[in-house]
Chain A
């Protein structure tokens, strides 16, 4: 089943602008986690939001979760060229597995 699906698939912005990526999922979750992946590299954990939380912040990152709409958003404020990467949401349902989406490719130009 397609659980986490991000949109848009690709996003191009200028340095200093904000970037918003969305994730939708189909079944109830325990938590949702966002990751960043630079081309061909490992997955860097960004933030975890639990099903009973609505918003979390970490530095320039802001994540929201709307369980009624089964959706989450990741906002990166004041983007930098170094933020260029793919961003994935991953949902944790009842067990241990994370189910990943296809990701949003963010390109930040200076």
Chain B
């Protein structure tokens, strides 16, 4: 079983739509959780960390459910510039990070 699993998509949504990505992880000892964004032919860049209490940054909201070992990312009012691949990342003991396969998002005018 993979450490981190997420729906690869692709998600094609119109501008202004709300879209949600989900991710599950297998290691109950996982300690840190992140969403990264990767643009085509670029390195991944941190979008936001994910906390048990949930956190929001503008149009982006991330949630963590430790009991279900589940992470989500909600994007409201989608912009064309949100088109990218979104990677779910889980940090485990030893400071290793495991990446989901990524979810591809295309926002359509």
- A and B associate in one complex: no
Residues of A in contact with B (beta carbons under 8 Å apart): none
Residues of B in contact with A (beta carbons under 8 Å apart): none
